């Protein structure tokens, strides 16, 4: 069960400076120290309200290259750029149009990333060779203070080894990243737990390229018609994902994950049948489920919470735990594709390689 795709993990041995910061009482000496590391072209992992980011100076090609190396990330996958102030955007992009301005006013700082046509200051190493750049302003105070202290925009993808679930807790970072980056700034668990929503405003109508906690419904309230990139609803190769990162295998634990859909009682019955078959084969099984169901399965369960917001917050932590516990097969209850449920199902389908058992 344990085979399959593995990320490239080149050997990097760096001395990593690791510090913990209290978000309730932010130590500005630590912020200045890590801000200077970023200004000097070094790599720093830091918390945001979505997931932890692996940051470097977005304007410095060499610094951006170190991010790809640390993550084992394909070089055509562009980096997302973080700013600490709305005014910084104009220095990086050709134009901020009316729709972008409306979104920035309504959702920034926060988990919404907007695509813009980039200015030449953004090197092609950062934009993955594209003429556009993805920008967001995080609401997390530690993140914003750190970016401000660095005095540069910060390119930061999620701080996981490429292909693995994104880290949402301090404990997720050290195992994979100690020795691969210059600095790690540990803070609290990330509030939202799934990466930012990405929106492209360049087409006939706005298009969501990656669903997140700023939901389609919230975006439609501000912009009217907004659609979701059709490539997200299938794994068909003939529909090209507009966010290059969405085409790669993603969020994949070593365990084989299956989504089980259908009416609640039927789903519980089906999963319990599968658990029995697996246990006869000596396979270690777990179930990812809503709290109300967590006592109904005859195996280890990961209680994802009572609400979809809680499920989003807990999902990546549960996927990471599957591997720590050596689980062979995991069944995940399906969620309604409404509100944050769209983002949850997008991440779950990818981690399950689109295997869905219908009951």
Q: Which residues bind ligand TXA (CB under 6 A)?
A: 48, 50-51, 53, 77-80, 111, 113, 115, 127, 130, 132-134, 156-158, 195-196, 198, 209, 242-246
- Give the span between the Cα atoms of 113 and 214, in whole angstroms: 10
Secondary structure class of 283 (helix, strand, coil): coil
Q: Is the peptide bond before 109 cis (omega within 30 degrees of 0)?
A: yes
Looking at the Cβ atoms of 239 and 300, the one nearer to ligand TXA is 239
Closest CB to ligand TXA among residues 162, 293: 162
Chosen from ligand TXA, Mg ion, none, partner binding at 252 (C-beta under 5 to 8 Å by type): none
Contact partner, 332, from Mg ion, ligand TXA, none, Cβ < 5-8 Å per class: none
For residue 204, what are the CA distances in angstroms to 19, 210, 222, 226?
46, 18, 16, 10
Q: Which residues of 264-278 are buried (b: 16+ CB within 10 A; e: fewer)?
A: eeebbebbeebbeeb
Residue (149 or 213) nearer to ligand TXA, CB = 213
Shorter beta-carbon distance to ligand TXA: residue 136 or 321: 136
In angstroms, give the least distance from the CB of 166 to ligand TXA.
Answer: 6
CB-closest chain residue to ligand TXA: 245
Minimum gap (Å) between residue 74 Cβ and ligand TXA: 9
Q: What is the DSSP string of 75-134?
A: TTSPPEEE-SSGGGGGGTBS---HHHHHHHHHH-SSSEEEEEEBPTTS-HHHHTT-SEEE
* Closer by beta carbon to ligand TXA, 4 or else 129: 129
Residue 160 Cβ, how far from ligand TXA at the closest point, in Å? 8
Return d(Cα 31, Cα 16) in angstroms, integer. Answer: 16
Chain contacts with Mg ion (rule: CB under 5 A):
158
What minimum distance in Å lies between the beta carbon of 145 and Mg ion?
A: 23
Work out how close the CB of 324 gets to ligand TXA at its nearest, in angstroms, rounded to a whole number: 22
Residue 183's DSSP bridge partners are 17, 44
Residue 29 near residue 149 (C-beta atoms within 8 A): no
């Amino acid at each position: 069960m344990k085979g399959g795709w593995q990320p490239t993990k080149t050997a990097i041995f760096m001395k990593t400076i690791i510090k913990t910061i209290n978000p309730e009482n932010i130590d500005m000496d630590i912020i200045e120290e890590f801000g200077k590391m970023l200004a000097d072209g070094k790599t720093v992992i830091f918390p945001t309200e979505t997931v932890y980011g692996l940051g470097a100076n977005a304007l410095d090609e060499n610094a951006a290259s170190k991010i790809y190396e640390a993550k084992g990330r394909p070089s055509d996958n562009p980096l997302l750029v973080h700013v600490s102030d709305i005014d910084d955007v104009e220095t990086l992009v050709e134009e901020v149009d009316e729709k972008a301005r409306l979104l920035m006013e309504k959702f920034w700082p926060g988990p919404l990333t907007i695509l813009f046509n980039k200015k030449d200051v953004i090197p092609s190493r950062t934009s993955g060779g594209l003429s556009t750049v993805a920008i967001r302003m995080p609401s997390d105070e530690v993140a914003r203070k750190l970016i401000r202290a660095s005095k540069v925009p910060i390119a930061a993808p999620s701080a996981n080894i490429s292909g693995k679930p994104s880290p949402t807790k301090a404990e997720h970072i050290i195992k994979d990243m100690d020795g691969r980056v210059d600095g790690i700034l540990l803070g609290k668990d990330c509030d939202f737990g799934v990466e930012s929503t990405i929106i492209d405003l360049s087409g006939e109508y706005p298009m969501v390229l990656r669903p997140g906690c700023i939901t389609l419904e919230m975006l439609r309230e501000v912009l009217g018609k907004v659609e979701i990139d059709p490539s997200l609803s299938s794994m068909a190769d003939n529909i090209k994902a507009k966010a290059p990162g969405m085409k790669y295998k993603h969020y994949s634990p070593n365990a084989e994950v299956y989504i089980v859909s259908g009416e609640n009682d039927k789903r519980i019955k089906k999963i319990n049948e599968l658990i029995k078959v697996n246990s006869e084969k000596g396979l270690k099984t777990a179930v990812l489920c809503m709290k109300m169901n967590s006592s109904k399965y005859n195996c280890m369960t990961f209680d994802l919470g009572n609400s979809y917001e809680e499920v989003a917050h807990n999902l990546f932590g549960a996927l990471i735990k599957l591997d720590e516990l050596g689980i062979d097969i995991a069944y995940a209850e399906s969620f309604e594709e409404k509100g944050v449920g769209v983002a949850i199902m997008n991440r779950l389908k990818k981690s399950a390689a689109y295997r869905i058992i219908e009951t």
